[in-house]
Every structure is written in structure tokens, then in C-alpha cells.
Amino acid sequence: MIILITGTRKGIGKAIAEHFLAHGDTVIGCSRTLPDWAENFSNYEHFTLDVSDEEKVLKMFGKIRKNYGGLDALINNAGIASMNHSLLTPIETVKNIFSTNTIGTFLFCREAAKIMRKKKFGRIVNFVTFAVPFKLEGEASYAASKAAIVSLTETLAREYADFGITVNAVAPPAIQTDLIRGVPEEKMNRLLQRQAIHRFGTFEDVINAIEFFLRKESDFVTGQVLYLGGV
């Protein structure tokens, strides 16, 4: 498969990219800065850009169309968060969160679908969050940006269905990455207790869900949001 993954510099994005690369897939990645592991794989190409920068994103998709002739899957992993009370959150922070999380996801879905529809096949997996159903205090902007992606996923699933493109979303559980490193231990423990399964998630948990959505046999699965760990 030819798979485009956003936010591959580190964390979940890096783990997903390395997984599919190890299985022989062609992976195209992007992030704001170049990852330090990219040279380890001959079947990997990286683009350095901001996912909400339409001009640079359009240029990237133009090169994908020219160099690969198609695209099988898109995994919209790139995202940023701000864990702060709404009364203490600057408007610039809100704009940045929505720009990366919501606008970036929309832009990549739109451009990927333009390529995928020519072959009547495509798999899009967006990333959302358990902060939406849990209504997590201190994450108003982040949760709102991801709630928009839930709605986007469900709507695009209907818009793209006739093109043979499925659109689904996965909500990773709390995973010990940079995103939650600054969260107090007591708060994380309370969050884990709210999950049906009371443990941190792993990269393998997320990859397993993504692989299900990407399978050829999953062509009847679309518009779904999978909350790992149980909400």
C-alpha cells in the first residue's frame, strides 16, 4: 500500500510509520521538522510542512500524484493540544489548535480523496480523542477541535462512499507520550479509572485498530469512531 501519515516525527505517528515500513509498504510522512529516523528506510519519503498550510499541502499532493500515481490510505495523526482552563487560554492557542487539528485534517481528507477516487479505492483514518465523550475539564479547545473531526468523519464517509473511499476515526487511549507528560499523575489515574479498561494504551493498540480500518475486507465499515479502552 501507499500510505500517507501526518505527524510522523515522533510518538504515535512515528510508531505507525515504522510499523508499515517494516511490513514493506510505501510510506509518505510529514511534520513541521524533519524526523531523525527518516534515513533508515528506503521506502519512506518525508515532507516538511505545516498541515494547515494549503499552498504547501497542495504542492505535496501534486508530487504524490506525480511520483506515485495514486494513494491507498491516509492517516491523519498530526495534532496539538493545550491542557488549560478556558478562562486562562489565549485566543492564539485556540486558533493554533483548530488550525492544526481541524483545518489540517479537512485539508488532507479533501486532497487525498481527489487522488483516491480515480482508482475507486481509499482508506482514511482520522484521529479523535476520548476528551470528547469524557467532557474533560481543562481541554475545552482541544476537545472541541476533535469533536469537529468526529462530525467531519461521519459526513465525509457519506460524501466519499460512492468513490470507494471509507472514512473512519480512532480515539487512542491515554498513551505515555509527550502529549500527556505534563499531566499530573493523580489526574491521569482518575482518567484511567473512567475507561472501561484501566490501563495506559500502547502504540500496538492503535496500530491494530488502524490495520482493521485499512483492510480490503473493511470496505463496508465507514463513518465509525472507535474509542480504544472503552468510554
Active site residues: 142
Burial of residue 99 (CB within 10 Å: 0-12, 13-18, 19+) is middle
Q: For residue 214, which amino acid is it?
A: L
Rounded to 5 degrees, what are φ and ψ at 155?
Answer: -75, -45
Angle CA 204–19–40, to nearest 5: 140
Angle CA 127–112–142, to nearest 5: 25
Q: Output the nine-digit C-alpha cell for 195.
A: 475507561
What span, in angstroms and rounded, lies between the C-alpha atoms of 88 and 131?
A: 18
What span, in angstroms and rounded, lies between the C-alpha atoms of 215 and 71?
A: 15
Residues 169, 150: contact at Cβ < 8 Å?
A: yes
Question: What are 127's strand-pairing partners?
Answer: 170
